[in-house]
Chains A and B, each alone.
Chain A
Amino acid sequence: METPFAVSEDGLCGHVYAGKVFFSRECVLAVSNLHAGKYDVSVEPYGEEHVEITIYSRDGSPVREEMLRRVMNDLVDCQVKMDLQKEFGALRDRIVEYAFAPVRKS
C-alpha cells in the first residue's frame, strides 16, 4: 500500500490503513479509542493484510491529512509502548512488590 491514509466524503471522513504485521489488534483498538472521544471511529478488516480505521467528523469540521498522520504516529508509538510493556511488565510488578514489602510485613 503506497499511502497508508486517505480522505473521503469531501473531507469529512478519513481512513487509515494499518498493516497487521506491524500493529496488533490491541494497538489498533487502543488508538481508535484514543480518538473516539472527539470523532466517530470504526475499525474494519481491509483485505488480508490490513485493517481500516475510519474516522468521521462529528461536527462537520474537516478531517485533515495531518490528523491522519497523527493517528498513524499514535499507532507506531502505541505498538512500541505495548512491546515495551511486555519487555518490562514483570519488572514493574517487582518494583511494586519491593515498594510495598515493608507494609506487608508490618
Chain B
Amino acid sequence: MSGYTLLPFQFCRTGRDEVLLVSESGDFIFLPEAVFERFIRHELSEQNEDFFRLKSHLFCAGEDVEVALQKTAARYRTRKSFLREFTALHMLVVTLRCNQRCRYCQVSCAEKDAAMYDMDEETAVRAVDMIFRSPTKHPKIEFQGGEPLLNWDVVTAAVIHAERLAAAQRKKVSFVLCTNLTAVTRDQLEFCREHDVVVSTSLDGDRSLHDACRRDRQGRGTYEAFMEKLALAREVLGPDRVGALMTTTSFSLSHLKAVVDEYVRQGMDGIFIRALNPYGFAAEDEAELGYDMERFVEKYLEALEYIIELNKKVFFPEQFATLLFSRMLSPFATGFVDLQSPSGAGIGGVIYDFDGSVFPADEARMLARMGDRHFCLGNVGTDSYADIFAGEKLGNLTRGACLETSFPCAFCAFQAYCGTDPVRNYLETGKEVRNMAHSPFCIKHRGIIMGLFDMLRRADDMTMDIIWSWITHNAGLVHRL
C-alpha cells in the first residue's frame, strides 16, 4: 500500500474501460479502469506516470496534504466567487402587455391595451432603490415584459434614477432591454445609446422558423418587421450592442443547423441554443411545441459539431458550450444564474413583477402568472430589503438548492459543472428539492456534459484552439483557412 492521501473527487465510468475523475475544483482526468481501482485502494505506485498526473491535478497528495488542500481551496473559492456578487442581476417587468402573441410565450403576456398590467413609476423607483441596497458593486438591470417598450416612460425613469444612485454610491450599473424590437422607435434607440442600454432580442431562425412561433396578435409572422427594426437598432446602437436569443421548439429541433446559418447570415456574434421552458403558453401548448429532453441533447450536440466546423472559417461561439467548457477547462469563475450551486435564484438574480412583487427567478414569476405564488418573496411597496433578501423564505430556498446535498447530485461526477433549479423542481413535483435522476433538467445537463467530454477526448489541435477561443473570447487563437 502506498502512502498517498486521496483528495476529494467524484467519478463515473465512461463505458470504454475508462473512468472520468472530477476534482472538487472541477479539474478532470481520465484513467484506465484498472489504474483507477489500484489508485483508490492506495496501491498505485508513486513512480507510475498516472500517479504524477493525479498528484499534479490535486486528486491526491503525498506528505504535502495541507498545501494541496489550500491550493484546492483557492480554486474552489474562485469557482464560487459568484457568491460575492449578491445580487447582481435585477429584472424589472415593466409591463405584461405585449404587441406580439408568441406561441411559446412563457409569461402568458397580456393584450396590448390591458394597462392594469403596467408597472407604475413609483413602484419602479422603489424597485431601483431596493436594487441599490444589494451589496454588489455591479448591479445589472434588465427590463423585461411583456414588451417593455410599451411602458417606455417607466423604463426611462428607472434608468435615470438608477444612474443617479450609481453615481452617488460609486457603483457601476449596466442596463439590458429585452425586447422583441418590432415596436421600437429611433427615439427609444437613441435613449438606449445615450444611456448605454444594451438590447437583447429574439431570433428563432430563418423566416419560416421564426414565424412558426413568433407572431403578432393577429397570428401573422413577425420576421419581416423584426428584420427591419434589427437593422435600425444596429444602425443606432452599433452591431455589438444588439444580441439575440433563440428558443428551440419542436419546429426547430430538427433544423438547428438552419438556425445557426441564419445567425451567421445576420452577423450575430454567437448563439445560445436554448431548450423550451414549460411555462405559460409553452406549457399550454406543450403537446405541439415540446419534445423529449433526450432528443434535445442529441440535436444540440449535432448542432455543436456543426458550429465547431463552422469556426474553422469564422469565429462563432455557442454560448452554453462555452460556459460549460470554461467550467471544465479553466479556473475562471462563471456566474450563470440558471446553472449554479447554490442556485442563483434570489442570490444571483431576482425579478420585480409589474405590481412590485419580488420573485427569486423569472420562472417563479411565470409560475405566479400560472396562479401559484409559492415563491413570492415580498413586495417593494410593503417589505424592506431585509425582509425580502435576508428573510426565511430565500434562506430556506438557498439552503435546499445545493447540489452537494441533493440526490443523486451529491455523488455525481458532473457536480462541479452543474447547478440546481428549485423552481423547476417545484413546477414538476410540487417540491423544491427532488430526486434529480431522470428529471428533464438532469437528462439535459448530464447528456450535454457527457457529450462535451466526448468532444474533448476526440478533439484535435484545431478543435481545442476553437474551444479556447470561445473560453477566452479571443478569435485570434484559431488560424483560419
Q: Could you tell me which A residues sit within 8 Å of B by CB distance? A: 30, 33-38, 73, 77-78, 80-81, 84-85, 87-89, 91-92, 94-100, 102-103
Contacts and interface: CB of A to CB of B under 8 A. Distances in A.
B408 A30 contact: yes
A81 B73 CA distance: 21
A84 B40 CA distance: 8
Contact of B437 (A35, A81, A84): A35
Nearest to B24: A95
B437 A37 contact: yes
Given A34-B408, A91-B7, A96-B73, 9 more contacts: A33-B408, A37-B435, A37-B439, A38-B438, A78-B411, A84-B40, A88-B5, A88-B6, A99-B73
Nearest to A85: B411
Contacts of B7: 88, 91
**Of A73, A94, A97, most B-chain CB atoms within 10 Å:** A94
Nearest to B83: A103
Contacts of A99: 73-74, 76-77, 80
A96 B74 CA distance: 10
Contacts of A103: 84
Contacts of A38: 438
Interface residues of B, number: 28
Nearest to B436: A37
Given A35-B437, A73-B13, A99-B74, A92 B8 contact: yes
10 contacts: A30-B407, A36-B437, A37-B437, A84-B40, A92-B24, A94-B69, A95-B24, A97-B73, A98-B73, A100-B77
Contact of B69 (A77, A84, A85, A91): A91
Interface string B1-29: 00001111111110000000000100000
Interface in B47-103: 65, 69-70, 72-74, 76-77, 80, 84
Nearest to A88: B8
A36 B435 CA distance: 9
A98 to B, nearest CB: 3
The 3 closest A-B CB pairs, nearest first, are A37-B438, A98-B73, A99-B77
Given A36-B435, A37-B437, A77-B13, A95 B76 contact: yes
A56 B11 CA distance: 28
Nearest to B75: A99
Interface of A is mostly: helix
Interface of B: 5-13, 24, 40, 65, 69-70, 72-74, 76-77, 80, 84, 407-408, 411, 435, 437-439
Nearest to B411: A81
B450 to A, nearest CB: 15
Contacts of B437: 33-37
Contact of B73 (A34, A84, A95): A95
B84 to A, nearest CB: 8
A85 to B, nearest CB: 8
A81 B412 CA distance: 10
A89 B10 CA distance: 12
B420 to A, nearest CB: 16
A81 B10 CA distance: 8
A73 B24 CA distance: 24
Contacts of B74: 99
Contacts of B438: 37-38
A33 B407 contact: yes
A92 B437 CA distance: 24
Contacts of A78: 411
A102 B65 CA distance: 20
A94 B6 CA distance: 14
Contacts of B77: 99-100, 102
Contacts of A98: 69-70, 73
B6 A87 contact: yes
A99 B74 CA distance: 6
Given A88-B8, A91-B8, A98-B70, A30 B411 contact: yes
Contacts of B84: 103
A103 B84 CA distance: 9
A70 B69 CA distance: 34
Given A92-B24, A95-B76, A80 B408 contact: no
A84 B23 CA distance: 13
Contacts of B8: 88-89, 91-92, 95
Nearest to A78: B411
Nearest to A97: B73
A36 B439 CA distance: 11
A95 B11 CA distance: 19
Contacts of B12: 77
